[in-house]
């Protein structure tokens, strides 16, 4: 991702600021509205594709079967699998905290 040089106060970590904004949202409707404002349709599709394969990977489903079920590329599935195994732990935390059914 390209970073543009700008003269702004960057004393606050921009990712931490975004995380704080996300934590301030109260329900799935507010979160969805924020994400739709923040992201392009393609970005939302890419993120939702990644999230869709997380539980399938956790359950041990083979990549090709995940691809057949979801249409998500095997390359993307592999990237998600690497993050599940060696990432920062965000997928695992979200899986642990996930409600049983989201509408």
The whole-number pLDDT of residue 1 equals 60
| Rounded CA separation 64/86 (Å) | 21
The whole-number pLDDT of residue 44 equals 98
The whole-number pLDDT of residue 4 equals 64
The whole-number pLDDT of residue 50 equals 98
Spatial neighbors of 84 by CB under 8 A, at least 6 apart, are: 54, 57, 58, 91, 92
Look at residue 6 and give its three-state secondary structure.
Answer: coil
For residues 70 and 52, is the Cβ–Cβ distance under 8 A?
yes
The whole-number pLDDT of residue 102 equals 46
The pTM is what?
0.80
Residues of the chain with pLDDT under 70: 1-10, 100-103
């Amino acid at each position: 991702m390209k970073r543009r040089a700008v003269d702004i106060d960057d004393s606050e970590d921009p990712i931490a600021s975004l995380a704080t904004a996300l934590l301030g949202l109260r329900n799935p409707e507010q979160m969805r509205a924020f994400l739709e404002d923040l992201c392009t349709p393609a970005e939302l599709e890419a993120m939702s594709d990644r999230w869709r394969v997380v539980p399938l990977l956790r359950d041990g489903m083979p990549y090709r079967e995940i691809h057949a079920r979801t249409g998500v590329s095997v390359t993307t599935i592999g990237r998600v699998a690497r993050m599940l195994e060696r990432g920062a732990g965000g997928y695992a935390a979200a899986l642990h905290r996930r409600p049983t059914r989201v509408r």
